[in-house]
Amino acid sequence: MPMRLMPGSSMEYPMNRPRVKLLLMLSAALFFFNCEKLEPEADNPLDPDNPDYDPPEVLISEGPAEGEIVDTSAVTFQWTGNELVTSYRYRFDSEVWSDWFSSTSVSLDYLDEGDHSFSLQSQYETGDTSVVLNVSFVVDAVTGPALMFYPRRHIASIGETVTFQIMAEEVENLTAAEFSISFDPADIVVESISQGTMFTGNGESIFFSEYDNLQGTITISAGLLGGENPSVSGTGDLVTVEVSVVQVGETEVTFDGSEVFRDPENNDIAILEKINGLVVTE
């Protein structure tokens, strides 16, 4: 039977709760829309749109300066980045860029005589990169007269063929050169030997080469014939040697101690330094 209210009764209909909740939400929304609209500030320090954004930077704190001549075959570069930098990469000479890494230093060794370049870049975790920092320097670590491998070191893979030049460095009145080289035939084998350019452009020249891949030896004789003063001065390549890599590891290609330089009167020219070669197989 329907319930009826008597006159004067205090009883009311029950409240519709879902409808009241909706009204409250609409009221709150109207309140916020009527308030002044506030623009959020771009305060992310890694956001390039932030007015206070600082791009990544890098500064070399130790190492050869631009144009510096260094008298060592190994150098170390150290650097710093600004606060938010997380990684760095470098490139040496014409090599490819290194992977990104967190260290703030790198050591370079077995540097050859002559001009070199070092490039450095920093990066935020967002991928933003700094401008590339470049440094050019010169290595003059060998005191002549010298006999040396160029390059000092090859990094190679099994089956790869690499080429060494054997150089006379800073020599005066050189008429003839003789030397023998030893290597481990289990690691590398000689593929070919050819005369270098030091004697070929200065009159009639002689060249003799012999190698033994069983014993691991190379013998070289080169020189000039005839003329009033058959000699050359300066730095140049005496011979080019190609070797194939057959085993993982490190192997030296070394002068055996019998090497001589001679002048036009057949006098010995003192060899002050000998720089061996190295093959690193990965």
Q: What is the pLDDT of residues 2-22, one digit of tens each?
A: 444 444 444 444 445 555 454
Question: Is residue 223 within 8 Å of residue 172, measured between CB atoms?
Answer: no
Tally of structural domains, the chain: 2
Residue 43 DSSP code = -
Domain boundary (139, 168, 189) is at 139
In a domain, 37, yes or no: no
pTM check: above 0.95: no
Residue 147 DSSP code = E
Domain boundary (139, 171, 195) is at 139
In a domain, 127, yes or no: yes
Domain of 247: which CATH number?
2.60.40.680
> If DSSP codes are grouped into helix, strand and coil, which group holds residue 186?
coil
Residues 273 and 152 occupy one common structural domain: yes
Mean of the per-residue pLDDT values of the chain: 88
3-state percent breakdown (helix, strand, coil) of the chain, nearest 5:
5, 45, 45
In a domain, 1, yes or no: no
In a domain, 4, yes or no: no
pLDDT digits (tens, 9 = 90+) for 43-74: 667 767 777 788 999 999 999 999 999 999 99
Residues 269 and 170 occupy one common structural domain: yes
Structural domain containing residue 90: 58-139
pLDDT digits (tens, 9 = 90+) for 164-222: 999 999 999 999 999 999 999 999 999 999 999 999 977 789 999 999 999 999 999 99
Percent residues over pLDDT 70 in the chain: 83
Residues 258 and 185 occupy one common structural domain: yes
Residues 150 and 275 occupy one common structural domain: yes
In a domain, 86, yes or no: yes
Residues 72 and 189 occupy one common structural domain: no
